[in-house]
Chains A and B, each alone.
Chain A
Amino acid sequence: MEAVPERHGIPPILAAIAAWILPGLGHLLLRRWGRAGAMFGVVAGLVMTGYLLRGVVFPIHLRDLRGDPLIFLGGVGDAGSGVFYALASILEKAGADVSRAAGDYGTRFIAAAGVANYLCIADAFEIASGRKP
């Protein structure tokens, strides 16, 4: 007999928004302590390494959709890290520097953090909606 996934009292959209704002918070609300810690640690580790390497944080401007869609997509990817994206100007005080290879690596770390958190948001949504145990 197949196990019936547990339903939680938290609306899936709320779990998803919480997971986006602060990586791991969605899983924390769903009482998935281990997963919440892992998500926060991984996203924070990736994004802070990216900032230390002085990677580029792409802004989100709708006008980039016509001019340079890759910049816009970069911004959407980076924005996945929620509060870390919002605080980028504070956390990366020195600003981006891609004149060295390290800065380019940093850009990839920041993008990977955002994309990893999008996966976590989808996971929190699935758990809250009872589709995943």
Chain B
Amino acid sequence: MLLFALLISVVLAALLRATTKERLRYAARSFALFIFLGLAIAWLLYPFSQ
């Protein structure tokens, strides 16, 4: 999940932002959101796996 989030964040940042500074900020934010939402959805679905 970490690798997937990192690689997709990099490609989105490279495509959607123009400057290096903007890209770094976008990639960091996108990566954090991927991880946060992934874990949040996993915990939400956890009761259904029992």
Q: Which of A35, A41, A49, A133 contacts B3 (CB 8 A)?
A: A49
Chain B interface, number of residues (Cβ within 8 angstroms): 9
- Chain A nearest Cβ from B31, distance in angstroms: 13
CA distance A49 to B33 in the complex (A): 22
Chain A interface, number of residues (Cβ within 8 angstroms): 18
- Chain B nearest Cβ from A24, distance in angstroms: 10
Q: Let me know if B8 is at the binding interface, CB within 8 A.
A: yes
A contacts, CB < 8 Å to B? 34-35, 38-39, 41-43, 45-46, 49, 108-109, 112, 116, 119-120, 123, 133
B contacts, CB < 8 Å to A? 3-4, 7-8, 10-11, 14-15, 18
